[in-house]
Amino acid sequence: MRSTKIVATIGPASRDPDVLERMVGAGMDVARLNFAHGSADEHAETVRRVRAAAEAAGREVAVLQDIPGPKLRLGPVAGELTLLETGSHLVLTPEQVEGDATRLPVAWPGFAELVGDGDVVYLADGAIRLRVRQVRNPDVEVEVEVGGAVASRQGLNLPNVTMSLPAVSDEDLRMIDAGVEMGVDLMALSFIRRGDDLRPVRERLAAHGSDIPVIAKIEKPQAAANAEEVVEAADGIMVARGDLGIELPIEQVPLVQKRLLHVAGQKAKPCITATQMLESMVSSTRPTRAEVADVANAIFDGTDAVMLSQETAIGRDPPGAVEMMAAIARATEDELPYWRLLTERGLRGGDDPASIAFGAVGAVYQLGLKVLVCPTQTGKTARLISSHRPQVPTLALSPRIEVVRRCSIYWGVCALRMDEPHDTTELLAACEHAAVEAGLCSSGDKIGITAGLPAGVAGGTNLFKVQQVA
């Protein structure tokens, strides 16, 4: 069983039902919907298609809604894509026009006030570089120093320019409403700077009576500097290296990534590592050796999930990219220092569920347990166990299908829906039966079971049982 989870972005190349089924079969655990592109109706239809593909494959796949957040972006581009030639000139304008290679709309009315002659503007995660030649408010004339293809709603980066954009816009809140309505399982918020930036999202979800986990995307220097605070406030983080590599000196990005993964591991919060992991597979059938090493190193550093972006959104072979990612993960996991990870990661002190999770994973190595089984109302116990990186599978059992899907982001956790018996003996027997049926153990094996007494109470894990399978 592969433990590292795979997040795959759904786009024009992967939205077809047949392609989605093949991606699920290849190992996609989480389908990411980028709400910077497309309409709510299109995303709702994609959610339905992902659910159908998962049902056909016989397993659950989580849907991650990626909310754009406060970022300068282009407006619409004719044909959704245009090519900027190196050496050419174009105008960036706040006017609501359809963009082309000579004129691109910027969705921010005060853009001309942010830049001056000689400033650099980056597009496409830094792949395209523009130089400001003249500011003619409200327009900005630029020269294309490094060209390439740009798409509708693509982001702009202005290094060293501080902007007072709201943490969550009205449009973001409307997207949250739409995400709740279409039944997404996870939400990621872009460009947060501090823990308090997540508060409006929490309040909006609470108004819907929803407890959807919120993932903080770390792509601003302020967020990286406030890592402890942001990780504490979020349900998980995403290291979004594209914008980090523009906003920070690029040589600092690997160090920031390692520190963020360490902080997330210490606080038992799941982490996704994203951007250009297998970028060459957008057009090639194989990744570069450097890309393979990048994925492996993220896993060694403690990431829960690795993410595919353009590779599956617009790439030539989305299922092939997922399959390659899965192969790299399996090979890397064979060499992980599991005992060291147990002692270096996870929560410490004072919390009954956290202490039981630590002891359960330790028992794996001391007693040769084949699987850890954890009935859970919220997924918390599964998350705590996952943070210690057990070398055996963790089977989470929950009566809530949304919790089953959320577990798709946790390292080493497979989840099934099961109504929880209120009798302790019946609960232990049901856990053993589920593990056998899932093919995770057989007669004579020892397994570990966590539980909470009384049964059915969220956050009440207070029991660990070693049980021999009949």
The yes-or-no answer on residue 32 being catalytic is: yes
Determine which one of 15, 22, 32, 389 is catalytic.
Answer: 32
CA-to-CA dists, residue 77 to 40, 41, 85, angstroms: 19, 20, 16
As a whole number of angstroms, the distance between CA 133 and CA 297 comes to: 41
The yes-or-no answer on residue 136 being catalytic is: no
As a whole number of angstroms, the distance between CA 383 and CA 267 comes to: 11
Determine which one of 82, 273, 275, 312 is catalytic.
Answer: 275
Determine which one of 153, 193, 204, 217 is catalytic.
Answer: 217
The yes-or-no answer on residue 199 being catalytic is: no
Q: What is the DSSP letter of 421?
A: P
DSSP secondary structure string, 65-127?
Answer: EEE--S--BB--BGGGEEEEPTT-EEEEESS---B-SSEEEBS-TTGGGT--TT-EEEEGGGT
DSSP secondary structure string, 119-181?
Answer: -EEEEGGGTEEEEEEEEETTEEEEEEEE-EEEETT-BEE-TT------SS-HHHHHHHHHHHH
**For residues 183 and 270, is the Cβ–Cβ distance under 8 A?**
no
Determine which one of 2, 51, 59, 73 is catalytic.
Answer: 73
As a whole number of angstroms, the distance between CA 85 and CA 2 comes to: 43
The yes-or-no answer on residue 73 being catalytic is: yes
Q: How many CA atoms lie within 13 A of 123 on its CB side?
A: 28
Which residues are the active-site residues?
32, 73, 217, 275
